[in-house]
Structure 1
């Protein structure tokens, strides 16, 4: 299988903002992986308690759901550093360098606008849960501000990574769509 010329992690250059944000995003990747592993252990615990011991479970299913949502949200900036989000290269590959650069700016700015909107509204939902002391209607009944907190944090850090990508594009540290010439 041949490797595409733009595949892989963009190499951080000398810009301290871009390097710092990529370091934060890498930590987010480790946190997301840890949340996934914790969810795996909680699932195993749930299976053991239910089937081996014959007891009912109260908190495990809901905890696993919250952990996996947390892993998905906190993992967003790391996946962005890897260029792992859904990407269709057909149009950028067909464009000349100048057209690719214009398209990269349009796509990057539109993505930043959408993610900023999601981050803002997720902060509002989190704040309502905090302010109104919302609790899950389940038997376990955790306070919902705790799992909702991953939404503004995850999308806020994703937004920060997108801004770092825009800076890297603007200063020439990263090529449009990660595609190097030649």
Structure 2
């Protein structure tokens, strides 16, 4: 084998590792999102049943609020990977193939920039919450980690968007 062939094989292995790891992270966060939805339903249902008997679930609001943020944040990378977002394509389809490619690339680069900034902002906010010792209202649970989860999701959206730029017209994961 020549050095060029070895280098190409190494590159393909690296790309396969990148895509495989990214898929696993996305599917793992999808499971976290689903679990957060189950927690929201279970806590809300339990709170309603307890109220029928004159009791309450102390901290139900805290748990549901945190679970809601986790459900949305953890579901974002999967939705991006399957291209599940709502798209307005009326003008897009009137463009030539080259125009669609240019428009799509520009939009994806803007998405990368915005989500990268959002990820940085989330980490900064999480650090701020940790430094201040912020906790939830009722249960006094530390909440600094919630923006970290959102930041991780934003980083994954950036990586998925890079995948979409390199593989136009393909979903990363089939729904």
Matching residue of 1:97: 97
Instruction: Establish whether residue 140 from structure 1 lines up as the match of residue 139 from structure 2.
Output: yes
> For residue 76 of structure 1, what is the aligned residue in structure 2?
76
* Corresponding residue number in structure 2 for 1:167: 166
RMSD: 2.2
Summarize deviations over 1:14-50 as a string: whole Å, max 9, x none. 9513343233222222221121112111111111222
How many residue pairs were aligned? 158
- Structure 2 length-normalised TM: 0.80
CA distance in 1, matches of 2:28, 2:39: 16
Query: SS where residue 142 of structure 1 aligns?
Result: coil
Question: Deviating runs (4+, > 6 A) in structure 1?
Answer: none
Give the stretch that moved more between structures: 73-82 or 57-66: 57-66
Gaps of 5+ in 2: 1-12
- 2:152 corresponding residue in structure 1: 153
Gaps of 5+ in 1: 1-13, 169-173
1:58-116 deviation line (CA, Å, top 9, x unaligned):
21122111101101001111001111112111122111111111111100000111111
RCO higher in 1 or 2 (8 Å CA, sep ≥ 6)? 1
Q: Is the CA contact 1:100–1:176 (under 8 Å) kept in the aligned structure 2?
A: no
Matches within 5 A, 1:54-69: 54-69=54-69
Residue in structure 2 matched with residue 44 of structure 1 by the alignment: 45
Q: Give distance in 1, aligned partners of 2:143 and 2:121.
A: 16
| SS of equivalent to 2:27 | helix
Distance, in Å, in 1 between the alignment partners of 2:42 and 2:84 is: 26
Whether contact under 8 Å (1:18, 1:167) holds in the other structure is no
Contact 1:126–1:145 (Cα < 8 Å) also in 2: yes
Q: Which structure has the highest helix share of the two?
A: 2
The CA deviation at 1:176 is 8.3
Q: Which residue of structure 2 lines up, in the alignment, with residue 24 of structure 1?
A: 25
SS of residue in 2 equivalent to 1:75? helix
Deviation at 1:177, TM superposition (A): 9.6
Q: Aligned equivalents of 1:176 and 1:40: distance in 2?
A: 34
How many angstroms apart in 2 are the aligned matches of 1:87 and 1:44?
35
Q: CA deviation at 1:56?
A: 3.0
